[in-house]
Amino acid sequence: MNFLVDAYPWIKAFHVIAVIFWMAGMAYLPRLFVYHADAAAGGELSETFKVMERRLLRGIINPSMIAALILGILLIVANPALMAQGWLHAKLTLVVLMFALHGMFSKYRKDFERDQNRKSARFFRIINEASPLLVVFIVILVIVRPF
């Protein structure tokens, strides 16, 4: 446990780095879906988007989400007093919503992979705003700690 307390600033730094990578991917993937939704199923462009989406999700988004989760848990284990603070409960609620969004994006990617997308480019333009909106509120909760 002393190791975690001593390493706390490093754990926090790597947690923030992992979150940045996760959010970059979460902002870019639905933008790819916007263009993919307009591409002809089975066409060369659609096949290119499939590769891009799969590599982004498996190579960046999933690993950085797992790292952010593990490092976030370590931060709480190293400083359990955080769990008594209301802002953290609100933040964790928004993080659960981010995990749900991540799951939705994974499902949409699989739909595109099977040429079974039923959503419009307009839908993906709208849903593209969800992760940045969640990030705004999460950052405000972490920095301002309003309660």
pLDDT digits (tens, 9 = 90+) for 29-64: 999 999 999 999 999 999 999 999 999 999 999 999
Provide the whole-model pTM: 0.94
Tell me if residue 1 falls in helix, strand or coil.
coil
Share of the chain above pLDDT 70, in %: 100
Half-sphere exposure of 2 (CA within 13 A, CB side): 0
Query: H helices of the chain, where?
Result: 2-6, 8-38, 44-56, 62-78, 86-113, 121-127, 130-144
pLDDT digits (tens, 9 = 90+) for 89-107: 999 999 999 999 999 999 9
The Cα 147–Cα 145 span in angstroms is: 6
pLDDT digits (tens, 9 = 90+) for 94-142: 999 999 999 999 999 999 999 999 999 999 999 999 999 999 999 999 9
One-letter identity of residue 59: G
Contact in structure between 101 and 130 (CB atoms under 8 Å)? yes
